[in-house]
């Protein structure tokens, strides 16, 4: 089976070089606001889905919660495991496959860690697995790009120089996806990677959530948890409640 773009790119050290500016302060600000809003009890079990190197999971654990992080990238999980303790664990795992059942109080899927698959069926399958992992009345916190704003304000080409590497980035809308290509040269070798995310609208997500057993209970448009506006908001942050398995 051919390697998918997310399997190669997220395992690459160049991914972390390009996105080094995704700092811990932003992640902690978002988590602080979510915790103040949700008020999880001290015994809550939390799941960070597509956790990357674990920045959200690690900070949640520092607040005293039992946290489990899962990610498809072996390199990310290997990095995150250095931070494990009795109440913080990381596993290499594909979000489309079953992982625990009726175990977690809150699941987080943050920073557009979704929309990577080729079919709607796979995305629905992933959301159904999120549902199964949660206890009755458990919550899913879901954070995605606001696609309506992105599509209308797409910057098609840019060059970023990070650690002496000149990344040439091109973005375009292809069919129902936003496709970003990343080309660069390093140590006399040419590299090319891409990112693809589905251009899901709010209506698309509402259908997916309902079909996978969730009810949308809150919507926000940024990490300050301000109201969502489909024309102006940068993010589409949704809190869903598990209604049925």
pLDDT, tens digit, 9 for 90 and up, residues 123-142: 999 999 999 999 999 999 99
DSSP for 136-183, please give it: EEEEEEEEEE-HHHHHHT---EEEEEETTEEEEEEEEEETTEEEEEEE
Residue 30 in this model has a pLDDT that exceeds 90: yes
Residue 143 in this model has a pLDDT that exceeds 90: yes
Higher per-residue confidence, 118 vs 216: 216
Both tokens assigned to 238: 């949704």
Tell me the average pLDDT across 212-234.
96
Superfamily of domain 5-144+201-242: Vaccinia Virus protein VP39 (3.40.50.150)
Cα–Cα distance between 198 and 177 in angstroms, integer? 4
pLDDT at position 19 is 82
Tell me the percentage of the chain whose pLDDT exceeds 70: 98
Tell me the average pLDDT across 46-64.
96
The closest alpha carbon to 139, from 108, 102, 94, 115, belongs to 108
Backbone φ and ψ of 34, nearest 5°: -65, -45
Extents of the domains making up the chain: 5-144+201-242, 150-196
Cα–Cα distance between 88 and 68 in angstroms, integer? 6
pLDDT tens digit sequence for 164-194 = 999 999 989 888 899 999 999 999 999 999 9
Strand 45-49 to 104-109 pairing: parallel
Q: How far is CA 168 from the centre of its chain?
A: 24
Residue 43's Cβ-side half-sphere holds a number of Cα atoms within 13 Å equal to 1
pLDDT at position 1 is 63
């Amino acid at each position: 089976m051919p390697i998918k773009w997310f399997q190669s790119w997220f395992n690459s050290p160049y991914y972390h070089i390009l996105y080094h500016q995704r700092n811990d302060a932003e992640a902690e600000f978002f988590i602080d606001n979510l915790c103040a809003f949700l008020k999880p009890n001290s015994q809550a079990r939390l799941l960070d889905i597509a956790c990357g190197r674990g920045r959200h999971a690690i900070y949640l654990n520092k607040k005293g919660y039992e946290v489990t992080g899962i990610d498809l990238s072996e390199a990310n999980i290997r990095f995150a495991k250095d931070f494990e303790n009795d109440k913080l664990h990381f596993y290499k795992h594909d979000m489309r496959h079953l992982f625990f059942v009726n175990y977690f109080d809150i699941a987080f899927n943050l920073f557009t860690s979704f929309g990577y698959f080729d079919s709607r069926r796979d995305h629905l399958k992933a959301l159904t697995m999120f549902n199964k992992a949660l206890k009755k009345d458990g919550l899913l916190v879901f954070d995605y790009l606001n696609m309506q704003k992105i599509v209308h304000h797409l910057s098609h080409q840019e060059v970023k120089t990070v650690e002496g590497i000149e990344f040439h980035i091109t973005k375009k809308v292809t069919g129902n996806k936003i496709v970003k290509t990343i080309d660069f040269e390093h140590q006399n070798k040419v590299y090319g990677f891409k990112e693809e995310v589905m251009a899901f609208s709010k209506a698309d997500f509402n259908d997916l959530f309902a079909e996978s057993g969730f009810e949308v209970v809150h919507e926000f448009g940024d990490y300050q948890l301000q109201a969502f506006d489909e024309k102006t908001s940068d993010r589409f942050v949704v809190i869903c409640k598990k209604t049925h398995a």
